[in-house]
Every structure is written in structure tokens, then in C-alpha cells.
């Protein structure tokens, strides 16, 4: 017996993205777990996060809002607004990476390096890996912006924009988790 109900399948690219995000969650969970284990050893040095990380947090949070609006504009076929909001999202993503770099420079000036034992080593690795994943998102945004201006945008398929938006929200939420994690456990 065949049902008349339509089954809605997930697009294969979306499924792949969810699998990849699951892998990233496991990687960052492993790194933060290692941080917890190592923080109980003798000679552990806590770290105070530079205030520039708060500014970068604002940039990535605002960019999540702009990509939501960009996706909505794309679905409404308002391409001028879509292009503008994607450019703003791209700029905010690049600003996040630049602000992270400033934060790393600030840590370096405070003599928080990879030498010794402490939260600083983990901070460089964990925040650095996150910044690399944001850079991947920025590249995806750049491709979408380029296609919006010079390429052929398929107005009937919002899947590429949905995938980019989902990934962007993921790196945003991951950043919030990492920031709170270091605020709670990295400064003790």
C-alpha cells in the first residue's frame, strides 16, 4: 500500500553538513575535556581573556542576525537586500577573525605562550581552531557573495544559502560555548 503523504527528505548537502558539525562538536568536546583534566595538574596557570574577545563576540552575534535576514531576503527574491546583507555578514565574519588575531596578540604581549603549562596553551589551540572554521565560513560567504554579483544565482534553490546560514549559526554557537567555557574554567 502506497501512502499519499509526501515524505520530505533532507537534502544530501544538508545531511553532510550535519554530520560534519557532529564531528566538530566531538572534536571541541574532546579538547575542552582535555582542558578540564589538565587544569587539575600541578603548575597549571589560569588566563584572563582579553576584552577584545567580547568585541569579537558582538561581531559574530550580529552576523548571525544578518545572515538570517539575508536568507529571508533570498527566499523573498529581494536580491539587492540579499547582496547587501551577505556583504555585511562577510565583513562581520572577517572582523571576527581580525579581532581574534588582536586577542592572540594581546595574550602574547602578556607572555601567555605555548611554553609551560596552563590555560593559554589550550586557548590558542581551541580558539585558533575555531577561527579556522570561521575562516572556512567566510570563504563560503565570499563564494555566495561573488555568485550573487557575477554568477548565476538560482532563485528557485535556497539550499546553498541555507547551508551557509546553518554553518554560520553553528560556529556562532560554538564560539559562545567556548567563551563561556573559558570564562568559567579558564580563569580559576
pLDDT computed for residue 184 by the predictor? 84
Q: What is the largest CA-CA distance in the chain?
A: 71
Which domains are seen in the chain, by residue range? 47-185 (1.20.120.80)
pLDDT computed for residue 150 by the predictor? 84
pLDDT computed for residue 41 by the predictor? 81
> Residue 45's beta-bridge partner residues?
118
CB 67 within 8 A of CB 165: yes
pLDDT computed for residue 187 by the predictor? 63
Dist. CA 80–CA 171, nearest whole Å: 26
Per-residue pLDDT of the chain (188 residues; tens, 9 = 90+): 455 555 678 888 888 888 889 999 999 999 999 988 888 887 778 888 899 999 999 999 999 999 999 999 999 989 999 999 999 999 999 999 999 999 999 988 888 877 766 788 888 889 989 999 999 999 999 999 998 888 666 567 888 999 999 999 999 999 999 999 988 876 65
Q: How far is CA 186 from the centre of its chain?
A: 20
What torsion do the CA atoms of 141, 145, 150, 156 make, to the nearest 10 degrees? 90
Task: Name every residue whose Cβ is closer than 8 Å to that of residue 158 and which is 6 or more positions away in sequence.
Answer: 71, 74, 75
CB 105 within 8 A of CB 50: no
Amino acid at each position: 500500500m502506497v501512502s499519499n503523504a509526501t515524505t520530505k527528505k533532507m537534502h544530501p548537502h544538508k545531511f553532510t553538513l550535519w554530520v560534519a558539525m557532529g564531528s566538530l562538536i566531538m572534536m571541541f568536546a574532546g579538547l575542552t575535556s582535555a582542558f578540564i583534566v589538565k587544569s587539575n595538574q600541578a603548575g597549571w596557570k589560569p588566563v584572563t581573556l582579553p576584552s577584545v574577545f567580547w568585541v569579537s563576540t558582538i561581531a559574530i552575534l550580529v552576523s548571525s542576525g544578518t545572515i538570517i535576514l539575508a536568507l529571508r531576503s533570498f527566499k523573498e527574491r529581494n536580491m539587492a537586500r540579499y547582496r547587501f546583507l551577505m556583504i555585511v555578514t562577510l565583513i562581520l565574519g572577517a572582523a571576527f577573525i581580525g579581532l581574534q588575531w588582536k586577542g592572540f596578540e594581546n595574550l602574547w604581549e602578556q607572555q601567555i605562550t605555548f611554553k609551560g603549562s596552563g590555560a593559554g596553551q589550550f586557548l590558542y589551540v581551541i580558539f585558533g581552531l575555531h577561527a579556522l572554521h570561521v575562516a572556512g565560513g567566510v570563504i563560503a560567504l565570499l563564494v555566495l557573495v561573488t555568485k550573487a554579483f557575477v554568477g548565476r544565482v538560482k532563485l528557485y534553490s535556497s539550499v546553498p544559502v541555507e547551508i551557509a546560514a546553518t554553518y554560520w549559526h553553528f560556529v556562532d554557537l560554538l564560539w559562545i560555548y567556548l567563551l563561556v567555557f573559558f570564562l568559567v574554567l579558564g580563569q580559576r
